[in-house]
Structures are given as structure tokens and as C-alpha cells.
Amino acid sequence: MKKNINPDAVYAASDSVVVRLVENQIVLLSIDPGESGGDEADNEPYFLNTTGRIIWRKMDGRKNLKDVVKVLSAEFRTPAKVIEKDVAAFVEKLVERKFLVMVSES
């Protein structure tokens, strides 16, 4: 896992995100204005790719990241190490964009 992502923590969609399904793709929309001087893309709609969509659906606000990795590893018969890397990158990006927030540390 990436240093700033806690594998024991539980993450969930923040209350500043609206999730819509468009052409079978999940799009995340932020209702928080971007910070001044920040990246202008911060307020743009964020379309999840296939991997992202699969991970997003497992982020139910109850399972911690280790459990999410475990479930995905079993479901897709893929080594946990591989899944873990994707999950960490995904969570890091979405936390940065404030689409995901940590709801409990363990």
C-alpha cells in the first residue's frame, strides 16, 4: 500500500460527491468548489475506468481496504499484491479529489 493510504482504514464516498451512471460508466461529480490556485481539472467530472468502477462498488463504508483487496482477489482470482497496488492508487487519487473520505481508521 502507498504510504499515505491506510490498509486498515475504511473509506467511503464523501458527502460532496454525486455519483451518476452514464452510458454504463460511473461519473463522479464534486459539489465543492476547487481551491484557488489549485488544478482547474479538480472540478471536472471524473469518469471511472473499468478497474475503478469495480473497486468503487466495493467501497461500501464497512469493509477496510485489506478486506476490499481480499474480496477482489478472490472474485477475480488475481494475487492480492496486484489488486492491492490498483486499490491503493485508486484510493489515493480519489481521496486527493475528495471523492473518498476515510470513515474509520481500523
Partner 1 sequence: MPYDKVIKDSDIEYIREQTGWAYQDMKWLSKEEAVKAGSERNALLQSVSGRVIKHFNESKISTGPLSPGCMTCGKGTWSCIFIGSLCTANCFYCPQDRKQKKDEPPNESGLIFNDPDDYVDYLEKFKFKGVSFSGGEPFLKFKEVLAFIKKIRKRLGRGIYIWVYTNGDLVDEKKLKALKQAGLNEIRFDIAARKYSLKAAKMAAGIIDRVTVEIPAVPEDYEILKKCLPKMKAMGVAHLNLHQLNATEQCFRPFIDHGYTFLHQPNIAVLESEMTALRIVKDVLDNNIGLSVNYCTPVYKHRFQKKAYRKRFQPYIKEKYEDLTESEFIRRLSVQDKPANLKEIVRAFQKSKCDGGLWFFDERENKLFFHPSLLDKIDSGRHNLIVNYYTPMLTTVPGKEDEGVKEVVLNARRKFMVERNLLHELTIDNPAAVKFFQELFIEKKNERDVLKRFYSDYDLKTKADVNEMMNEKDNICYLKTWEFVGSGLYEIY
Residues 62 to 91: which contact partner 1 by CB under 8 A? none
Residue carrying C-alpha cell 481480499: 70
If one asks whether residue 101 binds partner 1 (CB under 8 A), the answer comes out as no
Single-letter code of the amino acid located at 64: N
> What cell was used for 49?
475506468
If one asks whether residue 33 binds partner 1 (CB under 8 A), the answer comes out as yes
For residue 62, give the DSSP letter: S
If one asks whether residue 25 binds partner 1 (CB under 8 A), the answer comes out as yes
One residue of 9, 12, 27, 89 binding partner 1 per CB under 8 A = 27
If one asks whether residue 53 binds partner 1 (CB under 8 A), the answer comes out as no
Residue 74's contacts (CB-CB under 8 Å, 6 or more residues apart) are none
C-alpha 104/C-alpha 37 separation (Å) is 30
Binding site for partner 1 (CB under 8 A): 16, 18, 20, 22-23, 25, 27, 29, 31-34, 36-37, 40, 42-45, 47
